[in-house]
Amino acid sequence: MSNILLLKRDSILLYALLLVVYLSGLWIPLMENDSAQHATMAMRMYLENDFLNIYKAGHDYLDKPHMHFWLAALSFKMFGISQWSYRIPALLFTLLGAYSCNRLAKEFYGDKASHIASLVFLSSQAIFLSNHDVRTDAVLTGATIFGIWQLVAYINHRSVQHIILGAIGVAIAFSTKGQLGVFISGVCVLSYIAYNQKWKVLWSWKVGIGILTFIVAITPVLYAYYIQFDLHPEKYVNGASNVSGIRFILWDQSFNRLTGSGFEHTSPDYFFFFHTLLWAFLPWSLLFYIALFTRLRTVFTTKFRYQDNFEILTSIGVLIVMIVISFSKFKLPHYLNSLLPVGSVLVAGYITRLFQTNRERIAKNILRIQYVILTLGSIAILFLIFWAFTMPNVIIILCYLLLITGLCYVITKTMNPYRKLVIISVYFMVLINFCLNTQFYPKLLLYQAGNNAAKIIKTEQINPNSVFMLNGRPSWSLDFYTNRITPIVDINTISTTMKTGDWLFLYDNQLEKLKEHTISWSTKYEINHYRITRVKGSFLNPNTRDNTLEKAYLLKIIK
C-alpha cells in the first residue's frame, strides 16, 4: 500500500473545483427572509453611515449582535451594493474555517489528515448553503473553529500569541451571534484540557491576557448595544421598555432560546439536531457517526484513561454541545453549522486512522455506501433541475457533462479505497452543488416577487424613489435590489402619503383591501410569488405549479 493517503494533485484539483462552486454561488439572488433581510439591514448601515444602530423595518433590532452586519456594510463600502459583495465576508470566513480545520487536524493527527479535514468541511452541504443563503452562520462558524484551533495550539505550545488570537476568534464569534460560539469553544477546549490533564495551563498570566483580549474585542458590540438600548430605557422593544442591550447579549439571548421565552417553539424533538445532521453534514454524516461511535467506545472501554495520540475534543466535546442545544425550545438546522468544522476534524482523523492501521475492508464498505447515497442524490438533483424548470443553456450543460465525465473517470480509476473515499465524496458534492447553484436556485428565484419587481423598476426606468410598499408584508429583496429602504405606507394614509405617478408594491391578499378603499391605478405589473425557502412538491411539479403561486403587483397610483 502506498504511504500517501491523498496526493498533492488530488487536493489541488478538489480545492479548485470547490472554489468554482463557491464562486458560482456568489451571483445567486438573495433569498427571503433572513438572507435578504440581513443584507438590507447592513445596507441601511452603509447608506446612512450609522454603524451603531441596527434596525429591521424601521424598528430597533435586538436579536443578533453587530459583527455580521458590520462586515457586510464594510463590503458594500469597498465593492458597492450587490449580492456578491454581501456574500464576500461569508466566503472569507469559510476559507478561514477551512484553514483552521486544516491546522487543527494537523495538530491532532499529522499532515495526512490536514487537507482531508478542510476538504470535508468545504464539501459539507450546510456549508455550501451558508455561503449563498448568507446569515450570521458563516462568520460564526469560521470564527469559532479559528478560536478553537488557536486555543488548542496555546494549550500544546504555551505561546501568548495563540491565546490572544484564540480570544479574538471567540470574541468575533460572540460578536456575531452571542454566546453560542463561546459555549461551543469553551466545551470543546475544556474537554481537551480535561482528557489531557493539562489544568495547569489555566493558571498562567497568559490566560489573563487572553481574557483581557476577549473583553476588549467584544467591547465594540457591547458599546453599540449600550448606545442603542441602555441609553434609551423609554424604547419599546419586543413589547417591553427599559431593555438593556448589554444584559440581553450577555445573558437573555441564550437563556431565552433555551427556554423558548419570546420565541415560537420550533420543535419539541430532542433528537432534532441528531437527525438534521444527516443532511446538513452530507456526504460525511455516516462517517461522522461511525467515527463518533468508535471514539466513544474507546473512551468508555479505557474508562477515560489518557492515551497517547488520542483526543476527545472532536467527539465528547461535540456530543456535549449537541445534547445541551437539543434541550433548547427554539431549534433551527443552521445552529449545527459551527459544529461542522470540529466534526470535519473528527472525520479526517478517522479516515487517517483507517489508512494507518490498514483497515481496507472497512474503507471499502463505507465507500460502497457512499456510492449508493451520492449516486441517488446526484440522480435526484439532476432529475429535479431538468424536470422542474426549463433547460439550462448549452454552456452550463457542457459543464455538467464535463463534471460527470470526470466523476466517471475517478470511479473507474484504480486507487486505494481511502483516497477514493475522499475524492469521490467531494466530487459528488461538487457536481450536486454546481448544478444547484447554476440552475436550480437561479430558476427558483424567478418566483420571489421582490427581486423581480426590482428588475421591472430598472427595466422600465421607474424612479426607485417613487416606489412605496404597503404595510403588512415587507419585501427585503425589493429593498436590497433597489438599493434603498422602501417607505412603508398604511392603506388608510395612501391618499395623503402618495401622489399621482407614485408606485405601490403589494401582494395578492392586499389588493382586495386596496379596492375597498377606492384607490385607483393606471398601470399594473403582475409578478409571480412563492415562499421559495419552503418549497413543496406541488410547486416543483411544473404541471401543478401555477396553482401554488400567489401574485404580487406594482401599481402606478392615480388620484
Residue 194, in any domain of the structure:
yes
Residue 439, in any domain of the structure:
yes
Whether residues 271 and 334 fall in one domain: yes
What pLDDT is stored for residue 1 in this prediction? 47
Which of 323, 356, 389 is the last residue before a domain boundary? 356
Residue 5, in any domain of the structure:
no
Residue 6, in any domain of the structure:
no
Whether residues 219 and 251 fall in one domain: yes
Q: What would the DSSP string read from start to end of 285-301?
A: HHHHHHHHHHHHHHHHH
Q: Contact at 8 Å (CB) between 410 and 420?
A: yes
DSSP bridge partners of 526 = 553
Residue 8, in any domain of the structure:
no
pTM for this prediction: 0.93
Residue 364, in any domain of the structure:
yes
Which of 321, 356, 391 is the last residue before a domain boundary? 356
Whether residues 380 and 528 fall in one domain: no
Express each pLDDT in 275-319 by its tens digit.
999 999 999 999 999 999 999 999 889 888 888 888 999 999 999
Express each pLDDT in 423-433 by its tens digit.
999 999 999 99
Whether residues 215 and 351 fall in one domain: yes
Q: In the block, which residue shows the cell 401582494?
A: 507
Which of 294, 326, 356 is the last residue before a domain boundary? 356
CATH number of residue 506's parent domain: 3.30.110
Q: In the block, which residue shows the cell 424533538?
A: 269
DSSP bridge partners of 240 = 237
Per-residue confidence band for 259, with pLDDT thresholds at 50, 70 and 90: low
Whether residues 249 and 323 fall in one domain: yes
Domain that holds residue 36: 31-356
Whether residues 137 and 64 fall in one domain: yes
Q: What one-character DSSP code corresponds to residue 327?
A: T
Mean pLDDT of the chain: 91
Tell me the average pLDDT across 394-399: 84
Q: For the chain, what is the domain count? A: 3
Residue 62, in any domain of the structure:
yes
Whether residues 364 and 275 fall in one domain: no
Asked whether residue 244 carries a pLDDT value surpassing 50, the answer given is: yes
Whether residues 332 and 453 fall in one domain: no
Instruction: Look up residue 269 and give its amino acid.
Output: D
Query: How buried is 120 (Cβ within 10 angstroms: 0-12 exposed, 13-18 middle, 19+ buried)?
Result: buried
Closest by Cα among 455, 196, 459, 145 to 316: 196
Residue 1, in any domain of the structure:
no
